[in-house]
Amino acid sequence: MTLLSVAEAQARVLALGQVRPEEAVPLVEAAGRWAAADVVARRDQPAADLSAMDGYALRFAEGPGPWTVGLESKAGTSLPLPLAPGEAARIFTGAPMPQGADTVLIQEDAMREGPVLRRAAAAPARPGEHVRRRGSDFTTGTRLVAAGERWTPARIALAAIGGHGRVPVRQRPRVVLLSTGDELVAPGEDTPGVALPASNAPMLHVLLAGTAARVTDGGLLPDRMDALAEGFRRAGEQADVIVTTGGVSVGDHDLVRPAFMAAGAALDFWRVAMRPGKPLMAGRLGDAVVLGLPGNPVSALVTAHLFLRPLVDHLAGCPMPLPTISRAILAAPLPVSGGRAEYVRGRMEGERVQPLRERDSAVLLATAAADVLIVRPPHASALAPGESVDIVRIA
Ligand code: AMP
Ligand code: MG
């Protein structure tokens, strides 16, 4: 099987998963999710003509006054009585305009002596000034949020003010993380001999924080066909995405692919033309998407950013889930790249990106200092400092 390009592999991973069914959730549970349907205003905003300032509500045509101050209107009061001719009302920000009043004279432009109100000579008043008309923001039936838009803080506020206590989203993708390898022990446990703390599951868990995913750590699986196949089958019963790490190379103990086949999975591909991350497996087991990430923590990190997170966002209804690629200026030279796309860890220093020296994909200390991946296409030529490169954020 030939190596797939990263773009083709990403498209195939997304095509393996169906967007989750719709549900309505309380406003705050929409964080990190996308609108599953249009949301339409159930009310006019503002619901009445309101004052935009502290001052006096009056009839503009009666200018320059004087007026007699009678009524008072503050936010939250129901519509105050109509103004009598020659009358003005004391009014505060957000308060409803009395019937008949059309303009607010702001406090700073008013002269008041007892009940008598005058406009200061310099006051630049026009009809309708400092009044927010009923429905000037939106009216009942206005589309506030379109299907596919992200539930940002401002859109949550908009939906709430539009009369909604719940909003439409896609059900959370259920992600199960499985760590494979006889050498692994749970983080924090004793590490006798060559035992290795299994860092991939907590890393991926944190990587998916802020997405819609409901992540479960399915624990450690040994390098044994029967145990792996059984673990995959069980995970498949309650997952939309099964993520494994390790065991996808071509060593004698890399049993993840055959074990998935034994469990009944249909595999789509298992190698991608990228560095790090070449052994990457994708397929389906029942209704679940299977993503087999490399065991190496750096490779797992890179492939999770490029494939896992986009898949989760896709299932959650994001219309454009692939990582955002932006540009940065190189702070140091980069050599020619080989036949595979390369993802070079880098650190942003202002507008410039510093490629990290350490290229060994096993070196974690350097990776922890990286906040971007520099994306190099296959066979890219050498670059000098000052040239610009594509980057993807990873921290
Ligand atoms: P594998 O793909 O199983 O050959 O693993 C590649 C490398 O990653 C080996 O050095 C493994 O010990 C290491 N590794 C595998 N799984 C994990 C994990 N969950 N956490 C940290 N390192 C791992
Ligand atoms: Mg292994």
Beta pairing, strands 352-355 & 326-330: parallel
1 falls within a domain: no
210 falls within a domain: yes
Same structural domain, 353 and 240:
no
Confidence (pLDDT) at 101: 95
Q: Is the pLDDT of residue 103 over 80?
A: yes
Same structural domain, 97 and 79:
yes
For ligand 1, whether the C-beta of 296 sits within 6 Å is yes
| Nearest atom, ligand 1, residue 249 CA | 2
Structure confidence at residue 184 as a pLDDT band (50, 70, 90): very high
For ligand 1, whether the C-beta of 297 sits within 6 Å is yes
For ligand 1, whether the C-beta of 276 sits within 6 Å is no
* Containing structural domain, residue 232: 6-21+171-315
Alpha-helical (H) ranges within the chain are 6-16, 153-161, 200-207, 225-236, 256-262, 297-303, 309-315, 364-368
Among the candidates 107, 132, 157, a domain finishes at 132
Q: Is the pLDDT of residue 88 over 90?
A: yes
Among the candidates 282, 315, 348, a domain finishes at 315
Structural domain count, the chain: 4
For ligand 1, whether the C-beta of 236 sits within 6 Å is no
Structure confidence at residue 2 as a pLDDT band (50, 70, 90): confident
Confidence (pLDDT) at 1: 56
Of 194, 203, 245, 255, the one to substitute when testing ligand 1's pocket (max ligand atoms within 8 A of C-beta) is 245
107 falls within a domain: yes
For ligand 1, whether the C-beta of 199 sits within 6 Å is yes
Measured CA to CA in angstroms, residue 4 lies from 48, 187, 305, 339, 383 at distances of 60, 34, 17, 12, 25
For residues 4-20, average pLDDT: 97
68 falls within a domain: yes
For residues 371-379, average pLDDT: 97
Give per-residue burial for 128-142: e unless 16+ CB within 10 Å, then b: ebbbbebbebbeeee
For ligand 1, whether the C-beta of 200 sits within 6 Å is yes
Confidence (pLDDT) at 130: 95
Among the candidates 315, 340, 360, a domain finishes at 315
For ligand 1, whether the C-beta of 244 sits within 6 Å is no
Q: What is the pLDDT of residues 108-138, one digit of tens each?
A: 999 999 999 998 866 666 899 999 999 999 9
Same structural domain, 210 and 246:
yes
For ligand 1, whether the C-beta of 10 sits within 6 Å is no
Confidence (pLDDT) at 350: 95
Confidence (pLDDT) at 189: 98
Structure confidence at residue 357 as a pLDDT band (50, 70, 90): confident
321 falls within a domain: no
Measured CA to CA in angstroms, residue 151 lies from 34, 239, 310, 311 at distances of 5, 24, 17, 18
Confidence (pLDDT) at 80: 80
For ligand 1, whether the C-beta of 183 sits within 6 Å is yes
Q: Quote the ligand 1 centre to 286 CA distance (angstroms).
A: 26
Collect all residues with Cβ–Cβ distance below 8 Å to 153 and sequence separation of at least 6. none
Tell me the three state secondary structure of residue 362. Answer: coil
For residues 220-230, average pLDDT: 97
Same structural domain, 292 and 245:
yes
Confidence (pLDDT) at 123: 63
Q: Is the pLDDT of residue 230 over 70?
A: yes
Same structural domain, 296 and 198:
yes
Same structural domain, 203 and 265:
yes
Compute the mean pLDDT over every residue in the chain, rounded to the nearest whole number: 95
Same structural domain, 223 and 266:
yes
349 falls within a domain: yes
Same structural domain, 212 and 301:
yes
For ligand 1, whether the C-beta of 51 sits within 6 Å is no
Structure confidence at residue 39 as a pLDDT band (50, 70, 90): very high
Same structural domain, 150 and 36:
yes
Q: What is the pLDDT of residues 279-337, one digit of tens each?
A: 999 999 999 999 999 999 999 999 999 999 999 999 999 999 999 999 999 999 999 99
Domain with 36 in it: what CATH number? 3.90.105.10
Letter for the amino acid at 345? R
Domain with 371 in it: what CATH number? 2.40.340.10
Q: Between 65 and 262, where is the model more confident?
A: 262
Q: Name which residue sits closest to atom 23 of ligand 1, judged by CA.
A: 295
For ligand 1, whether the C-beta of 218 sits within 6 Å is no
320 falls within a domain: no
Domain with 194 in it: what CATH number? 3.40.980.10
Q: Is the pLDDT of residue 364 over 90?
A: no
| Nearest atom, ligand 1, residue 220 CA | 19
Letter for the amino acid at 298? V
Confidence (pLDDT) at 126: 85
Same structural domain, 26 and 15:
no
Alpha-helical (H) ranges within 41-168 are 153-161
Domain with 68 in it: what CATH number? 2.170.190.11
For residues 227-250, average pLDDT: 96
Tell me the three state secondary structure of residue 324. Answer: coil
Confidence (pLDDT) at 359: 62
Q: Quote the ligand 1 centre to 64 CA distance (angstroms).
A: 81
Same structural domain, 179 and 243:
yes
Same structural domain, 148 and 282:
no
Confidence (pLDDT) at 177: 98
Confidence (pLDDT) at 360: 64
Ligand nearest to the CA of 179: 1
What is the percent of the chain with per-residue pLDDT over 70, rounded to a whole number? 97
Letter for the amino acid at 324? T
Confidence (pLDDT) at 277: 86
Count of H-run helices and E-run strands, the chain: 8, 26
259 falls within a domain: yes
Structure confidence at residue 63 as a pLDDT band (50, 70, 90): confident
Confidence (pLDDT) at 294: 96
Of 177, 191, 196, the one to substitute when testing ligand 1's pocket (max ligand atoms within 8 A of C-beta) is 196
Q: Quote the ligand 2 centre to 243 CA distance (angstroms).
A: 14
